[in-house]
Chain A
């Protein structure tokens, strides 16, 4: 894979995007995830009402891959039920592990499908999955 296929426009733009990068005073869930080995950290905030995620946002700092992954995930979560969100986290982790390769199934991840190339970059897997593990922890 050429390096340009990893750092696509979509990913570099998401990594700098400010829409989902914010505090959320009315959050119902707030969870901090850290990769001790590289120091990436995000705090994921969700506002859940009647079992539905009405808003998702994050703060933190890290490499483009972790930050883009968080931004794409926040986009994907809004309007989903908590159950749905957990299922999507499993799907994303399956994609990165290389267990799920079916295009039609992965389409459901919307823009986050663009991170599938990370599966071939073992050194960066932990960056891509940090937001999704944090999501799983916050919905426990």
Chain B
């Protein structure tokens, strides 16, 4: 059964929303939770001794517990940040310099989002370290075994997405973590594209850090979380300085608050945290089993349908990786921006362009350095896929190709 009726943006129709990998829509329950918080409970948390401030504190701290439990972490290990990008920056600023020196290296797959590339470029330049890439096989999209030897005695950090955003491929987390552990390197896992679709337990993954955004998992924009192993977070210096992150301040010295407050300076995005927790509850209520079953069936319909359309090719389609909820494709001779404009005429919303992954598109030598990407969410249904598969054959015709 379609869940569109739970999402105000989708229930009135008028859009086949196939861009959930960029940001998902938000269900009524999340909007209601945030609205209620701001209407009735939004005093400044952690500050007032009166009832409303207590309710606000309970809402904020309670939201953290919900989010922490969702990924199998402790509340003290779960830091609220603005988004995945900020979480990765926090690691780059506050952890990386303590382990990374001249001649050391950071290793990342070529499939990464810019937020998991540019941050490491920054810190590698600053520390005179090297940024190394694990290249994928251009046909299959998988990382060949030989690439793993790039993780060597000078590797201090291995950072990778759990699910990649352009191809929807699942990275071999177990192998990456094993290779990193063997050389004593820290692991950073970007779970932004996996948490909307599959259960994630940071301890089972065995990673040292993880990062994700609420807005890709049916929560609000402007809030996300960083997970870090307790010992690592405890040893790290603060990221931002100011109110709420202190225990005691004297004229020249400050004792910082214990975790997680040490990393949360100033009044926080409480309404966002409440929405984040409501999004977790929404996912738990629907259940990952139902989410995965729906998305897998639609993904199969989508990929099989795309393969039948003349002039349409799926990127890295030789199928050596497990794909999740997103497909990038090319329409021969047509720039993805034109593809998207033409699909928009049939009320289809897809992402077209470079997907914040320039190095991957260059490496794959993708024409126009761009792809069109269709991605799925919990509300996607067969209607959305049919609409896309019906509209796509029109694209080349409208662009003046006679097929």
Is the CB–CB distance between A13 and B337 below 8 Å?
no
Query: Cα distance A65–B336 when bound, in Å?
Result: 12
User: What's the least CB distance linking A36 to chain B, in Å?
Assistant: 11
Is the CB–CB distance between B338 and A13 below 8 Å?
no
Which residues from A are CB-within-8-Å of B345? 2-3
Q: Do A3 and B369 contact each other (CB < 8 Å), given the known contacts A38-B353, A127-B337?
A: no
Q: Nearest B residue to A39 by beta-carbon distance?
A: B354
Contact of B400 among A13, A63, A65, A123 (CB under 8 A): A13
A91 interface hit (Cβ, 8 Å): no
Is the CB–CB distance between A123 and B353 below 8 Å?
no
B328 interface hit (Cβ, 8 Å): no
User: What's the least CB distance linking A124 to chain B, in Å?
Assistant: 6
User: What's the least CB distance linking A3 to chain B, in Å?
Assistant: 4
B398 interface hit (Cβ, 8 Å): yes
Query: Cα distance A63–B399 when bound, in Å?
Result: 11
Is the CB–CB distance between A63 and B398 below 8 Å?
no
User: What's the least CB distance linking A57 to chain B, in Å?
Assistant: 20
A101 interface hit (Cβ, 8 Å): no
User: What's the least CB distance linking B274 to chain A, in Å?
Assistant: 32
Which residues from B are CB-within-8-Å of A113? none
Is the CB–CB distance between B398 and A61 below 8 Å?
no
User: What's the least CB distance linking A25 to chain B, in Å?
Assistant: 26
Which one, A4-12, A43-51, A78-86, is touching chain B?
A4-12
A53 interface hit (Cβ, 8 Å): no
Which residues from A are CB-within-8-Å of B335? 62-64
B52 interface hit (Cβ, 8 Å): no
Is the CB–CB distance between B400 and A4 below 8 Å?
no
Query: Cα distance A38–B341 when bound, in Å?
Result: 13
Is the CB–CB distance between A7 and B369 below 8 Å?
no
User: What's the least CB distance linking A37 to chain B, in Å?
Assistant: 9
Q: Do A3 and B342 contact each other (CB < 8 Å), given the known contacts A39-B353, A39-B370?
A: yes
Is the CB–CB distance between B337 and A12 below 8 Å?
no
Is the CB–CB distance between B341 and A3 below 8 Å?
yes
Within 8 A of A (CB), among B159-173: none
B368 interface hit (Cβ, 8 Å): yes
User: What's the least CB distance linking B336 to chain A, in Å?
Assistant: 8
Is the CB–CB distance between B400 and A124 below 8 Å?
no
Q: Nearest A residue to B399 by beta-carbon distance?
A: A12
Query: Cα distance A16–B370 when bound, in Å?
Result: 18
Is the CB–CB distance between B398 and A121 below 8 Å?
no
Is the CB–CB distance between B341 and A121 below 8 Å?
yes
Is the CB–CB distance between B399 and A38 below 8 Å?
no
Is the CB–CB distance between B399 and A64 below 8 Å?
yes
User: What's the least CB distance linking B7 to chain A, in Å?
Assistant: 23
Q: Do A65 and B368 contact each other (CB < 8 Å), given the known contacts A12-B400, A39-B353?
A: no
Q: Do A63 and B369 contact each other (CB < 8 Å), given the known contacts A3-B345, A7-B398, A7-B399?
A: no
Query: Cα distance A61–B400 when bound, in Å?
Result: 19
Mask, B318-341, CB within 8 Å of A = 1, is 000000000000000111111001
Mask, A26-38, CB within 8 Å of B = 1, is 0000000000001
Question: Ordered nearest first, which 7 A-B pairs have the shortest CB separation?
Answer: A12-B400, A3-B345, A63-B335, A63-B337, A64-B338, A7-B398, A63-B338
Given A65-B337, A124-B337; 6 other pairs, CB 8 A cutoff: A2-B345, A12-B400, A16-B333, A16-B400, A38-B353, A63-B337
28 contacts between A and B (CB under 8 A): A2-B345, A3-B398, A6-B341, A7-B338, A7-B342, A7-B398, A7-B400, A9-B400, A12-B398, A12-B400, A16-B333, A38-B353, A39-B353, A39-B354, A39-B370, A40-B337, A61-B368, A63-B335, A63-B337, A63-B338, A63-B368, A64-B335, A64-B338, A65-B338, A121-B341, A123-B344, A124-B337, A124-B341
